[in-house]
Amino acid sequence: MIDPVILEHFRTLKEREELDAVLPEILTGMGLEVLSRADIGVRQYGADVAAVGKDDDGKRKLFLFSVKRGDLTRGEWNGRSDQALQPSLDEIRYVYHRSVAPEHKKLPVVIVAVLGGIVPQKVAPLVHGYMETMEQQNRGFAYRLWTGDTLTSRLLEGVLREEIFPGERRVLLRKTAALVEEPEQALRHYAALLRDVLGDDSVNEEERVRAMVVATRVVFSWGREAGNLEVPYQASEMLLLRAWSLLYPRIEHDTARKQVPSHVYFAVVQLYLEVWRSFLGDKILPHAGKMHALSFAVGAINPLDINLALCNLVGRVALGGLLQLWLLPGAPDLPALIEGSDNPAHDIARALAQLVQANPTVHAPMLDEHSTDLGLGLLLLCCFEDTREVARYWNRQAARAFMIAAKMPQNGPRLPSLDTNYETLLRPIEDPTPQELSKATAASTLLPLYALCARVLADTELLAELDTFQKDHLAHCNAQGWVPNARCDDKMWQGERLHGSALPNLEIGEAGEKLAAALRLECEENTAWAELSAIRLGHWALVACACRQTRVPMPPQMWLGLLDGNPVSISKNDRRSINHFHRPILSAVQKNPRTLRCSTSPLAFWSVDL
């Protein structure tokens, strides 16, 4: 039953970044060692992927793969295009093979043409005739054709073989793919699948994660065909954290330096960024600068729904930018002011700045919990000089809206709610009594965020306003933040909401001095931060992802580099270790507007053509 699901998955894959990306996982599942992968901007000379290992006859061979998407047409076989398949196979034989490593030169060679679809009958004689002729003319060379059916079989015999993906898991994958337009139900099945596969101790950690990467790619392709990428996005975000929980001990103790766990986790990061780009970079961010466009696209009448959806969107966009910032060659160990603008993180920051200016609803979040999303957004904007002014404007607007709401609850903006229950949010108290107002403002994570951001941006005017406001109107309010403790390392990667410790009773003080001093002291004395696996291994962006998924504020340690104010210059010649990965060749923001049809929240569904 699952074969058609996977077969359709292969037929819809694009050649670049998709079929090229899943093929190495299939080869690894077959027991082959992948030598090289496709790279944009580098001439491949026909060979998109190279691998070495034992063939079906037990002999060690060199496998060279040329990849094409979909069904093979006559023009795609030997047309005038540079991407035609026959010329690519010729280049492998006469150019690429001459440059292989010396230890592989004497191995028998298998040249494989890989298609996501099929070879139509009118093209098949040309392909088979060419391969037979080339085998007769070139001893030591064998030619093979892999279609979507072949890829499906190889996948089910390798990465998704019965030991890893037995019948009940295949049913869960099929249900997830079939219900991709029903996010709540699909994600329930996906979460069960993820929990079942990653929790199977009978299979090694890398194989478990590799299987879930392939399964998530299947869900991604079905979501793309359905025009709804909500399920693939949330699935890839879940996998990003759960896979880290499983792999970080392997990465940390990889004494053989084979870096296999790191390469497997890189595939997870790459998958998340591909889904992020397809979902947000291609469909949403091209409309970020259009006044009220994204707010209108939510398709809701109630301002509450629009506010919840847009604040959630801000967090997702910012998280993609922070991940790209982390992956920059030569990037700092924590977010800091970055000199240089020729990078994907800066592109996303600029798009986020446009989104904030064009959608005023995010200037007054209606949930205190949205301190997580605003914290991610402000953190990203503060990392680049040319988006800091927007960060200052946004922070001022949001902080002043909060102050007005607390001072004038009857006539001002809506006070951010501490209660996340949707039914409660739909029925706010119209004219609260002093006791009700005191209860509604009993705690706040937004207030210290606004003050911290103002301190980073040296906004003394806003700091003075917030300090006076806290003393005069919110003396009873527990202004608090969040910090990790010794017990939260694994909990945060598993998506558990209750983890870490509160940082309570924060005071702003004159020019934010009390707040800055309290946060610095906490950062100095909190030993749990340095012991977090993601921090220990230089993967700080995963902390941001975990905060977004578990809905806790960003810890003050993430702001330290910006509080210090020392800019970091990014050099294109810098390189990072494999534990940080080389930046995937992914365009962060698609410039061409496209139809907007995606969901950012169970409360709202994007369905408007812009």
Enter the tokens of residue 308.
Answer: 């919840």
Burial annotation 228-253 (CB, 10 A radius, 16+ → b, else e): bbbbbbbbbbbbbbbbbbbbbebbee
- Cα separation, 66 vs 146, whole angstroms: 10
- 3-state helix/strand/coil string of 183-231: HHHHHHHHHHHHHHHHCCCCCCHHHHHHHHHHHHHHHHHHHHHHCCCHH
Q: Which domains does the chain have, with CATH numbers?
A: 1-158 (3.40.91), 304-569 (no CATH)
Least confident range of 136-140, 214-218, 522-526, 593-597: 593-597
Per-residue confidence (pLDDT) for residue 165, from 0 to 100: 87
Per-residue confidence (pLDDT) for residue 43, from 0 to 100: 57
- Cα separation, 230 vs 206, whole angstroms: 26
Confidence class of residue 16 from pLDDT cuts 50, 70 and 90? low
End-to-end CA distance of the chain: 38
N residues, the chain: 610
Write the pLDDT tens digit of every residue in 419-453.
999 999 998 888 889 999 999 999 999 999 999 99
List 53's β-bridge partners, or say none: 61
3-state secondary structure of 340: coil
Per-residue confidence (pLDDT) for residue 17, from 0 to 100: 63
Backbone conformation region of residue 99, classed left if phi is above 0, alpha if psi is from -120 to 50, else beta = alpha
- Cα separation, 156 vs 3, whole angstroms: 8
pLDDT over 60 at 245, yes or no: yes
Per-residue confidence (pLDDT) for residue 182, from 0 to 100: 95
Rounded to a whole number, what is the largest CA-CA distance in the chain? 91
- Cα separation, 352 vs 183, whole angstroms: 25
- Whether 550 and 489 have beta carbons less than 8 Å apart is answered as no
**Beta-carbon neighbour count of residue 343 at 10 Å?**
21
Per-residue confidence (pLDDT) for residue 83, from 0 to 100: 78
Closest CA to 341 of 304, 371, 385: 385
pLDDT over 80 at 591, yes or no: no
Per-residue confidence (pLDDT) for residue 255, from 0 to 100: 65
List 490's β-bridge partners, or say none: none
Strands 568-569 and 443-444: unpaired
Closest CA to 447 of 413, 399, 487: 399
Per-residue confidence (pLDDT) for residue 31, from 0 to 100: 87
- Cα separation, 549 vs 496, whole angstroms: 9
- Cα separation, 306 vs 113, whole angstroms: 49
Per-residue confidence (pLDDT) for residue 36, from 0 to 100: 84
Burial annotation 565-598 (CB, 10 A radius, 16+ → b, else e): eeebebeeeeebeebbbebbebebbbeeeeebbb
pLDDT over 70 at 575, yes or no: no
Least confident range of 73-82, 126-135, 216-225: 73-82
Closest CA to 32 of 112, 86, 130, 90: 112
Per-residue confidence (pLDDT) for residue 596, from 0 to 100: 29
- Cα separation, 444 vs 15, whole angstroms: 49
The DSSP 8-state label assigned to residue 47 in this structure reads: -
Write the pLDDT tens digit of every residue in 19-66.
887 888 889 888 899 888 776 544 567 788 999 999 989 999 999 999
Q: What phi, psi does 339 have (nearest 5°)? A: -90, 130
Closest CA to 481 of 554, 386, 403: 554
Per-residue confidence (pLDDT) for residue 285, from 0 to 100: 96
- Cα separation, 404 vs 400, whole angstroms: 6
Write the pLDDT tens digit of every residue in 505-550.
999 999 999 999 999 999 999 999 999 999 999 999 999 999 999 9
